[in-house]
Amino acid sequence: MEKFSFKDILVLIAGLFITAGVAYAILTVTGFIPTDIAKLFYEGAFVGQRNILNTLNIATPYILTSVATVISFRVGMFNIGINGSMYVGALYAAWAGYRFTTLGHLSHVSLCIFIGMLVGALWMLMPALLRVYAGVSEIISTIILNFVAVLFVSYMCNGPFRAAPIAPTTARILETAELKQYFPNSEFHTGFFIAVFVAFAAYFVLNKTTFGYELRSGGDGLVGFYPSRYSSYLGIPSDRSAITGMLISGAIGGLAGAVIVLGNTRNFYQEMAFNQGFDGILIAIIGKLEPLGGLISSLFYAALKNGGLFVDYKTEVSREIVVILMSILIFFVSAQKIVSSLERFEFVKKLDKFFSRKVK
Amino acid sequence: MNKKQKELAIEVKGITKSYPGVVANKSVDFTVNKGEIHALVGENGAGKSTLMKILYGIEQPDEGEVSVNGNVVQINKVDAAIKLGIGMVHQEFHLVPSFTAAENIGLGEEPRNSNGLINWDKLNKDVSEIAEKYGLDVDPNLRMIDASVGVQQRTEILKTLYRNADILILDEPTAVLTPQETDELFQVIRSLVDEGKTVIFITHKLREVMEISDRVTVMRDGEVQGVSETKKTSVKELANLMVGREVFLQVKKEKSKPTDVVLEVKDLWVHDARGLVAVKGVNFEVAKGEIVGIAGVDGNGQTELVEALAGLRDTSRGEILFEGKNIEKNSPRQRRREGLAHIPEDRSNTGLNVRLAIWENLIGTSYFRSPLSRGGIVSMKNILRHSNELRETFDIRSPGVTIRAGSLSGGNQQKVVVARELSEEPALTIASQPTRGVDIGNIEAIHEQIVEIRDSGKAVLLISAELDEVMSVADRVGVIYEGEFVEWVDPSKVNQEQMGLYMAGIKG
Ligand SMILES: Nc1ncnc2c1ncn2[C@@H]1O[C@H](COP(=O)(O)OP(=O)(O)O)[C@@H](O)[C@H]1O
Ligand SMILES: [Mg+2]
């Protein structure tokens, strides 16, 4: 993979400025005072304990789904089905949360997380096997499985797992299964630490272990979009790598769902609408398909989101404007052509060299 | 020489171009006469492609000026080059695999009907006409996925002709071709020049330079070393200019002293990807201290034989004995562990993962061992030290080992593969086309390494479509034709013509 370089940062900053410019224009035209809105936006994302905690809380599932994306993409499997894993992981974490009644706190939480991850992983087993043994594109099968997941969980919490007669929800999980919320004014919970840990663990495994090398040897990145024969030529069982990568990716997707249920909602209900599995792909690509890049972009993305929510809540500015701005920004950040065209400027080249030397 | 021929098609003055860490062109002067075949030769990394990319508007020079047909021009994008009548066929083809030849050729320039839709009939007709005029044998309706490398290349040439190119740049066109395809290409080049086109032909095979070109320019380390009429120079002189020192075109080696048999192949049958029999019951042995060569035109079962030996393809019958043990059921990893190394013919998708860094490609056979890793955790410090050592020993030209292998030139990619495989000091090295696309100086180095392995008492199986290579490096040569050995020869006792007959399947 190409690593982050100074050019990327330059484009990001330029993108931020242009996005701010567009925001300024839109807000002025619609009769708001842009500087006031910007202040609110900033306040909502970063100022005060409550807002900071909320930003971190929003980031939690994004960190996990982006890491899940990174892992599958880098073994050469284009897993678009992380959202599906999230759904089934969340559902079964909730089930384990109310079903096992005799456990202590640590063992119960661990069991729920384990079950969420296991189910999330199993959800990816079929597309992985189909790809390796029948050549079915995992892109197609995982997209389809996303729909299946939505219908499946909706059936389950209407039917077998339904607890309340009035609404399609599962029972509330027991207190022993809860991920702790530390502050009265925010839903911020232990899941954040789990997510950060997973990002670092993924970074370590992918880059610092022989297992990670074997996983990546047939894939590693978007370029080309085809698996290399290199790994099987070396005698690394590349089929096994592909399957393992998919399962790990699914497990982390399941974990993303599980931490939401165990830490935020405390039950699973039919209206639960996840999209973090999809946004995670975007975030992972912005993070250059590096686990820690995914971590940083998730925090960034969550800050934008939370700032937007705050503006929405405090003013008449509609929430949609945030979506528009975010799209513009992402458009710039992912515009590789712009990044590479910067090479023609001498000072960019020099800075680039300077920074890459530092990294080494 | 008449006056018309003296007119300059291209004149380049004082071109300098640097990339981060390298100066790819250093005040280069380069001229091409109208209507000539101009060979541009130089080792990998000499700056040939860079110069051509500047002519074709892909790269912008830092300094210097370009004139085309006598006028100073700014070629700041490819469109500008095309308008000036320049066409380029890149080292790596730029074709849409799922499109037909005609669709690829017309892409972006399709003829339209009055209703604005693409006029496929006209496109096909135009393509066939051009193809016929220059003897370029291409079926307009053939999809590029199904086309051989030769056909793909002809399609690329047609693409430039369809855009009315008068000056054609062919960047190492023969690197990927079989000898027959090369001959066909030369006929095409001659007919292009007969029709008044100008051809710049990049290669590092000096025999081709002598055969086809009118004039030749030699580059080394970004600088022009000399320009000459081809008639007035020699292979020896060109080689020395290219490499910058005396080159020995003949491999220097003592007589081999074979000892114990390492590899024994008995009645081996192998099928190809389409299920057809590719290897038909071959028998041979390779002993310690000898280099056994397999000569033959590409596609006579060499690929399948090598893959079967390396564990990448199932055999359908027969035995492969390695140091007396049957290894037929062993995985590639197990075979490597027992001392079998493999330099594959397809380096960009098998020998390397071009998306990985150079160091990641260098450790493919050793990453699981101390000191590169301990208990499953890799030691970056030791890996980088090991990789940098290999980079120096095998003279891999790159700014460092952390850049992607895909950004290296073909010859340097090959050196990465060779470095990784030979660093294991294997009992048997299977080297398949080890110098394909590699320049003279490096070919010499690779050949020396192969002889060195032999002299240290190891065995080598060398498979090559380059007759010169097998004949000068190997101690014993089997000629393969349609999956069977026609004859085993002592290369010092047989001449080229006789070998040519064997390669055509004609015995005795
Ligand atoms: N896009 C690039 N970025 C950085 N270095 C490059 C690039 N293209 C070529 N180079 C370097 O420039 C030198 C000349 O390369 P090239 O013109 O491709 O050589 P040739 O075609 O003669 O083999 C080499 O050292 C190569 O590594
Ligand atoms: Mg080149």
Q: Is the pLDDT of residue A224 over 50?
A: no
Nearest CA to ligand 1 atom 6: B19
Residue of A nearest to B344 (CA): A233
A99 and chain B in contact, CB less than 8 A: no
| In-domain check, residue B404 | no
State which residues form the domain around B164.
8-243
> Is residue B395 one of the residues assigned to a domain?
no
**Residue B437, H or E segment:** none
B431 versus A337: the higher-pLDDT residue is B431
Mean pLDDT of chain A: 88
Q: Which one has a higher pLDDT value, A225 or A292?
A: A292
* Lowest-confidence pick of A73-87, A151-165, A176-190, B171-185: B171-185
Is there a domain that residue B91 lies in?
A: yes
Has residue B306 been placed in a domain?
Answer: yes
Q: Cα A325 to the chain's mean position, in Å? A: 20
What pLDDT is recorded for position A244? 96
Q: Does B158 share its domain with B277?
A: no
- The label of the residue with tokens 């020396």 reads B448
Residue minimizing CA distance to atom 8 of ligand 1: B50
How many angstroms separate the CA atoms of B311 and B332, rounded? 5
Record the tokens describing residue B485, joined without a space: 């050995």
Q: Which atom of ligand 1 is nearest to the CA of B47?
A: 17
Q: What is the phi/psi pair of residue A273, to 5°?
A: -115, 110
Say whether B356 and A220 touch across the interface (CB within 8 A): yes
- Residue from A207, A230, A340 whose CB has the most chain B CBs within 10 Å, to mutate: A230
Do B213 and B318 fall within a single domain?
A: no
Rg for chain A, CA atoms, rounded: 21
Give pLDDT, residue A360.
Answer: 37
Please write the tens of the pLDDT for every residue from A7-59: 667 777 777 888 888 888 988 898 888 888 889 889 999 999 999 999 999 99
Q: What is the DSSP letter of B173?
A: G
pLDDT, tens digit, for every residue of A151-178?
A: 999 999 988 888 877 888 898 999 999 9
The count of other CB atoms within 10 Å of the CB of residue A212 is: 21
What CATH number has the domain bearing residue B229? 3.40.50.300
What pLDDT does A219 receive? 85
Beta bridge partners of B169: B88, B200
Mark whether B114 and B59 lie in a shared domain. Answer: yes
Q: Does any domain span residue B316? A: yes
- The answer to whether position B159 is within a domain reads yes
Is there a single domain that holds both residue B57 and residue B166? yes
Domain boundary (B243, B271, B293) is at B243
CA–CA separation, A6 and A84 (whole Å): 36
**B77-102 per-position pLDDT tens digit:** 999 999 999 999 987 788 888 899 99
Q: Which two tokens stand for residue A172?
A: 């509330």
- Which has the higher per-residue pLDDT, B42 or A116? A116
Question: Do residues B239 and B284 both lie within one domain?
Answer: no
The whole-chain average pLDDT of chain B stands at 89
What is the pLDDT at residue A4?
57
B265 found inside a domain = yes
pLDDT value, residue A38: 86
- Residue pair A280/A62 in contact (Cβ under 8 Å)? The answer is yes
Instruction: Using the 3D structure, point to which of B197, B214, B243 is the last residue of a domain.
Output: B243
Q: What is the pLDDT at residue B260?
A: 93
B377 contact A CB<8A: yes
Q: Residue B201: inside a domain, yes or no?
A: yes
Residue pLDDT, tens place only, A250-259:
999 999 999 9
Statement to judge: residues B466 and B430 lie in one domain: yes
Residue A348 has pLDDT above 80, yes or no: no
Residue ranges per structural domain of chain A: 59-298
Other CB atoms within 10 A of residue A329 CB: 22
- Distance between Cα B428 and ligand 1 center (Å): 34
Position B2 pLDDT exceeds 50? no
- Structural domains in chain B (count): 2
Who among B332, B351, B354 is closest to A235 (CB)?
B332
Q: Which atom of ligand 1 is nearest to the CA of B399?
A: 27
pLDDT above 70 covers a percentage of chain A that reads 89
If you average pLDDT over residues B321-347, what whole number do you get?
Answer: 91
B288 in the same domain as B211: no
List the single residue in A216, A233, A237 with the smallest CB-CB distance to B312: A233
Statement: residue A271 has pLDDT above 80 = yes
**Higher pLDDT among residues B366 and B504, named by residue:** B366
Contact A236 B60 (CB under 8 A): no
Three-class SS state of A180 = coil
A241–chain B nearest CA distance, Å: 15
- B229 and B127 co-located in one domain: yes
The neighbouring-strand residues paired with B229 are B215
Determine whether the interchain pair B335/A235 forms a contact, defined as Cβ–Cβ distance below 8 Å: yes
